[in-house]
Structure 1
Amino acid sequence: MSPRLVDDIRLYLAEQRAILDAFPVAAVAAVADALFAAYDRGGTVYALGNGGNAGTIDHACCDFKLHPFVSEDKTRPLPAHIRRLSFVNLCGSPAELTAAVNDLGPENMYAALLEPVVGAGDLVMAYSGSGDSPNVVRALEVAAAAGATTFAMTKGDGGRCRALADICLIVPGSSRFPGQTGRNDNNFHFEDNILSLNHMLVGLLKQRVAASTSAAAADREG
C-alpha cells in the first residue's frame, strides 16, 4: 500500500473533522426553526441545486416526506390526521427543467417553476457551492419577492447567496485534497455536508412531530 495513498485519505478525514469542529451550528438551528415554521403553518418547502447537489436533494426529498411520519420502528405510518410536510424537489423532473431551459434560458430554470406557486409561509432551500449560480440566485430573488423564507447553503465567501438568503450556511474551510482544490476548493466536503445537514433537519423534524403527536394524544386522553 502506497504511503502517499494513506496520507491522502488521512488528509481528507482530517479536513472533515476540522470542518465539523467549526460547523456553523447557529445556522443549522435557524434553518431548523424555519422548517418547523413552514410545517406548522402548512407551507411548502422547495429545494433546488445543480449537478450532484440535485441528486442529494432527491435523497432529501425522500427523507423529508417519509421519515418523520413513520413509527419509530418503521413498521407503520403515523395516523392520517398527522399533517405531512409538503416538500417539492424542483430538480426532480428532467422534462420540466429542460423545457424551462429551452424556453426561458438556464438562469430562469428554477425561477420559472417557483414563481407561479411560491408564497409567504413557504421555505425555499437553495444549494450552490459558489453561491453565484445564476439559476440559484434568480430562484432566491423570486422567493424573496413572494415573501417566502429563504435558505442557502454554500462555501467560500458565500457569493451572492450570502446577501440574498434570510439564512445562509457557509461550510467553513479550504482543502488540499485532490479534486477539490482551485476553483473546486472544498467542494467534496461541501457536498458531504449537504447530506449531513438534511439528515439533521429530518431527525429534528421527526422529533418535533413525535412530541406534538404525543402531546395531542395526552390532551385527548385528559
Structure 2
Amino acid sequence: MSGAELFDRNLAAHQQVFAALGAMREAVALAGARLAQVIAEGGRLLLFGNGGSACDSLHIAAELSGRLRQERRALPAWSLSGDVGALTAIGNDYGYEQVFARQLQAHARRGDCAIALSTSGRSPNVLRALACAEELGLESIALLGRDGGPARTMARLALVVPHDDSARIQEAHIFIGHTWCGQIEQALGLVPAGGGRA
C-alpha cells in the first residue's frame, strides 16, 4: 500500500467515525455540563489514561489549565498520567494497576471528577481508578471506544466512540475534549458566547 493509499484509507475511516459522532451529541454536552458544574462548585478535574490516552489526558488538562483560544483564568485540571516519579514509584511498590488509584487516594477530594480515557475500557489501572473514584465519592466520566469494556458501567457517565481502531478513537476523544473545554469556558462565563469554539 502506498503512502497516498494509506492516507486515503485513514481519512475514510476518520470521516466514518466523525459521521457517527452526531449520535453522541447530547451525551457529550451532558458530560461537558457536569464538568463545568464540578469546577463552578470548587472541584477539580483529574484525568488519566495509558499510552496515547495518557497523552490525550495531558492535552485536555493543558487546554484547561492553560487556555483553549482566548485569555481567561486557569481552570483546575491535571493529568495523573504525567508524574513519572509517582507512576514509577507506585508501579514498582504496588503494581501498575494501582498507579492512578493511588494518586486519586492522595490528591482527590469530594467534589472532584475523575476522567478516564481508554480506547478499550479494559485497562486494569483505569478500572481500579474508576472503582477508587466511586469509593471516594467522586464524580466520574469515562471516554471510551469499541464496546466500552467494563469501564462503561463503572463510570457514572460513559461516552463510547463506536469504532475498533485506537487511532481513530483517540482522534474523536481529542475532538470531544476540545468541545468540553469550549463548553466549560462558556458555561463559566469566561469567554463570550461562541468564543470557546475549538
Q: Would the TM-score normalized by the shorter structure come out above 0.5?
A: yes
Superposition deviation, residue 211 in structure 1? 6.0
Superposition deviation, residue 10 in structure 1? 4.7
Instruction: Establish whether residue 137 from structure 1 lines up as the match of residue 127 from structure 2.
Output: yes
Deviations 1:177-201 (A, max 9, x none): xxxxxxxx32111110111111001
Q: 2:59 — aligned with what?
A: 59
TM-score, structure 1 length as denominator? 0.78
Cα 1:20–1:115 shift into 2, 3 Å: same
Distance 2:179 2:151 in 1: 22
Letter in 1 for 2:120: S
TM-score, structure 2 length as denominator? 0.86
- Tell whether the 8 Å contact from 1:30 to 1:167 is kept in structure 2 after alignment: no
Cα 1:9–1:52 shift into 2, 3 Å: closer
Q: 1:148 — aligned with what?
A: 138
Distance 2:161 2:66 in 1: 27
Q: 2:181 — aligned with what?
A: 202
Distance 1:8 1:53 in 2: 23
Letter in 1 for 2:169: F
Say which SS state the counterpart of residue 67 (structure 2) adopts: helix
1:77-92 matches, within 5 Å, as 77-78=72-73, 84-92=74-82
Equivalent in 94, 99, 105 of residue 104 of structure 1: 94
Q: 2:48 — aligned with what?
A: 48
Instruction: Establish whether residue 29 from structure 1 lines up as the match of residue 29 from structure 2.
Output: yes
Distance 2:166 2:191 in 1: 38
Find runs of 4+ consecutive structure 1 residues off by over 3 angstroms.
1-7, 211-214
Instruction: Establish whether residue 167 from structure 1 lines up as the match of residue 157 from structure 2.
Output: yes
Say which SS state the counterpart of residue 148 (structure 2) adopts: coil
Cα 1:150–1:129 shift into 2, 3 Å: same
- Tell whether the 8 Å contact from 1:67 to 1:206 is kept in structure 2 after alignment: no
Distance 2:7 2:177 in 1: 30
Letter in 2 for 1:54: A
Q: Which range moves more in the overlay, 52-61 or 130-139? A: 52-61
How many residue pairs match? The answer is 192
Letter in 2 for 1:16: V
Superposition deviation, residue 160 in structure 1? 0.9
Identity of aligned residues (%): 31
Letter in 2 for 1:210: G
Distance 1:138 1:6 in 2: 37
- Ranges in structure 2 where 5+ consecutive residues have no aligned partner: 194-198
Letter in 2 for 1:44: R
Say which SS state the counterpart of residue 91 (structure 1) adopts: coil
- Tell whether the 8 Å contact from 1:100 to 1:108 is kept in structure 2 after alignment: yes
Deviations 1:143-188 (A, max 9, x none): 1111110101111221111111000000013xxxxxxxxxxx3211
Say which SS state the counterpart of residue 67 (structure 1) adopts: coil
Q: 2:107 — aligned with what?
A: 117
Structure number with bigger Rg: 1
Say which SS state the counterpart of residue 88 (structure 1) adopts: strand
Deviations 1:57-86 (A, max 9, x none): 211121111216x8x4x4xx55xxxxx422
- Ranges in structure 1 where 5+ consecutive residues have no aligned partner: 79-83, 174-184, 215-222
- Tell whether the 8 Å contact from 1:49 to 1:91 is kept in structure 2 after alignment: yes
